[in-house]
Each structure stands twice: as C-alpha cells, then as structure tokens.
Amino acid sequence: MTDNSANRVVVLICTPLEAEFVERIASFDPDRVEVRYRADLVPTPHFVADHHGEPGWKRTPEGEAEWRAMAADAEILWDVPEGNDVPVLEQCPNVRWIQTTSAGVGPMIREKGLADTDIIVTTSSGIHATPLAEFVFAALLYNIKIIPQLLAWQQQKSWERYCAGELRGQTLTLVGPGRIGSEVARLAKALGMRVVAVGATPPGQRQPNPDFDVYVDYSGIDEALGQGDCVVLACPLTAQTDGLVGRRQIDAMKPGVALVNIARGAVIDEEAMIEALQTGHIGFAALDVFQVEPLPETSPLWSMPNVLVNPHSASTAWAENERITDIFVANLAHYLKGQYDQMSPILDKQRGY
C-alpha cells in the first residue's frame, strides 16, 4: 500500500449538493482526494439546485467550530462558504482552487478579497445558457402572443378573436455576446429573427459568430439598441457595463420595445427604466435581476402590468448540479495532473468575467 497522504487534497463542499454528486466527486480518485460534506453545516436548500438557502442563515456556534476544523486544510472549495462573516482566506488559508456554482461571480470574488490572489476560480459559466435562453424566449413569446391579454379574456370568459405579432422578422439586440448571449442568438436565428450583438471586444478582435447579423462594441450601443424590437441584456457586470444602459440608451430604444434583463440589475438605470415602462416607451420588460435583491416591496415594478418579475431564478434548472459536477470533475482531473491551464471556464479575476 502506498501512503498518498502527502499528495492528498481536501475538497470542501461549501453549499448544498445532492448525495449522488458528492459520491461522484468522492469516487473520482479516492486515493488522492478527500471530499468533506456535511449537509447540516451548509444552508438548507429551498428548491432543486438552491445554493444559498434562507438569507442570513448561520451555523450554530458548535457547528461553526466543526466547520472551521473541516475548512482549515481544504485546498479545493466547491462554491464560496456561506453563513460565515470570517474572510474566506482566514477560514481556508490553504485554498488554491474555487469552483463556483454561478457564472457572474466577478464582483463577489472581488468583494470577498480574492481578486488579487493566485487562487484559481472556475465558474459554471455556460451551464445556465440553456435555462436562461429558454426564459428569454418564454418572456418574448409571452409578450408577442399577448398572453396577458388572453388571461384577462379567459377570466371574463370572453371569446375575442385577435391577431398577434410574430418574432419572425423582428430584430433582437443582444447586449453581451458570451456563452448565454450566444445561445440566445442561436435560438433567435432559429425563430427567424435578425440579431444585432453588442459586446466589450472590438469587432476585429473577436471570432465571428454566424448567428450575429451585426456585431458592434459598446461604443455603438445607442445605435444598436435603436434597432431592436426586442432587447436582451446578458452581459457580465463589470466596470464597463455598470450603468451601461442609462437614460440616453433607453431613449434610443424603439418605442414599445420588449426588454429582457438576465444580466445584473446595475447594468440598466432602474429608475429610468421604470419611467419608460410607465409611459409605454418600453412596452414590456421581463426582469430576472434588480438593482436591489430581493426586490423591495416598495418597488413599483411589482405591480406594473407590463412587467414580469422573476425572482433571480431564470438560470436555475433541475439538471444544474449535475452539470456543475461534470465541470468540476473534468477540472479536478486537470488539477490533479497540474494542468491548470486546461481548467475551464476560468474567471479572469481582473476583468471580472
């Protein structure tokens, strides 16, 4: 028997994970990897693939002591620990790699004091592309097929024949042409839409995407927004996209535009957006993200008839933890061989995505 203890790495699972996926990770290379998971020391999930549980959740003092003992020599973290005001690096001074369960983690990693370290951060960027793109078209079709009107007629038992619009032939302006945005564009093309994409990278420097009829960088955003019958915000939150869609950009949009925000609330001027929804300049908005979350009870967005509020859950899907486990296990194989540059998708901690 070989003593591998010197080589052994400790994986600490920091947020809720189903037993079958914990097992899968634990059985990957039991000689070299020790997996630690205590369901009673992480938040209680409220739904499939919930990683956060009750806001403000904390461990008991005894639980906290056990947690700190488990965390002390952890080298790999599945997600960033919840329920602890102690800095991550103080809880886990030996951490070298963090696998997050979300994609847009740039701001959080900075906030946790991890942006200027050598710790590898792999995200789950990509796995949310399918559920988010499906949500985008659920929302756009809900609007174009006047389902709110159908529901009102149905409640009145009123048989009203009508004529609805079609997404086919419309222009979709996509802000943020990453993994999620590319899936939105692919479905838009399948539906016969024209896609105008806007991103951070100058046109000459990015690989062409055949699903983009037009691509411009953020310097051309006003004109691009003006072309969209539908506008989808799907960019990461960075210094450049914070407030990217301000009052002037909203004014530049087509009257009656349908807006979907699956990016972050701070990407758009929420006050200006609310005003435009009140006048009807923005005809419809489906919002998964907000300036402040949970959305305060006092927000007018809750009761606007042309707004669909989604409580920041459009990215979740039943199959989510299975897909993150796929990413994690593939990355673990590279990590154990020291092939750090093969790990993917790696967060550029300075760029923020």
Q: Of residues 32, 90, 293, 351, which has the active-site annotation?
A: 293
Decide: 308 and 285 in contact? Cβ < 8 Å. Answer: yes
12 binding its own copies? (CB under 8 A): no
Decide: 174 and 267 in contact? Cβ < 8 Å. Answer: no
- The amino acid sitting at 22 is V
Q: Which is nearer to its own copies, 143 or 249 (CB)?
A: 143
Q: Which residues ranging from 283 to 312 are in contact with its own copies (CB under 8 A)?
A: 293-295, 297, 302-303, 307-312
163 binding its own copies? (CB under 8 A): yes
Q: Which residues ranging from 118 to 147 are in contact with its own copies (CB under 8 A)?
A: 130-131, 134-135, 137-138, 141-142, 144-145, 147
Q: Which residue from 130, 196, 170 is spatially nearest to 258, judged by alpha carbons?
A: 170
250 binding its own copies? (CB under 8 A): no
Strand 194-199 and strand 76-78: the pairing is unpaired
Query: Smallest distance from the beta carbon of 136 to its own copies, in angstroms?
Result: 10
Q: Of residues 59, 264, 270, 320, which has the active-site annotation?
A: 264
Q: Which residue from 12, 38, 8 is spatially nearest to 91, judged by alpha carbons?
A: 12
209 binding its own copies? (CB under 8 A): no
- Token pair of 172, please? 């979709």
Q: Is 270 a catalytic residue?
A: no
Q: Which residue from 107, 110, 353, 112 is spatially nearest to 236, judged by alpha carbons?
A: 353
Residue in 319, 329, 330, 336 binding its own copies, rule: CB under 8 A = 319
Q: In angstroms, rounded to a whole number, what is the distance separating the alpha carbons of residues 212 and 189?
A: 9
Residue in 57, 164, 242, 251 binding its own copies, rule: CB under 8 A = 164
317 binding its own copies? (CB under 8 A): yes
Q: How many residues bind its own copies (CB under 8 A)?
A: 57
Beta-sheet strand order (sheet of 76-78): 33-36, 9-13, 76-78, 97-99, 120-122
Query: Smallest distance from the beta carbon of 153 to its own copies, in angstroms?
Result: 7
Strand 33-36 and strand 76-78: the pairing is unpaired
Q: Is 334 a catalytic residue?
A: no
Q: Is 160 a catalytic residue?
A: no
Q: In angstroms, rounded to a whole number, what is the distance separating the alpha carbons of residues 175 and 197?
A: 6
- Token pair of 106, please? 């740039």
50 binding its own copies? (CB under 8 A): yes
As annotated, the active-site residues are: 264, 293, 312
Binding site for its own copies (CB under 8 A): 46-50, 52, 130-131, 134-135, 137-138, 141-142, 144-145, 147, 150-151, 153-154, 157, 159-169, 186-187, 190-192, 293-295, 297, 302-303, 307-314, 316-320
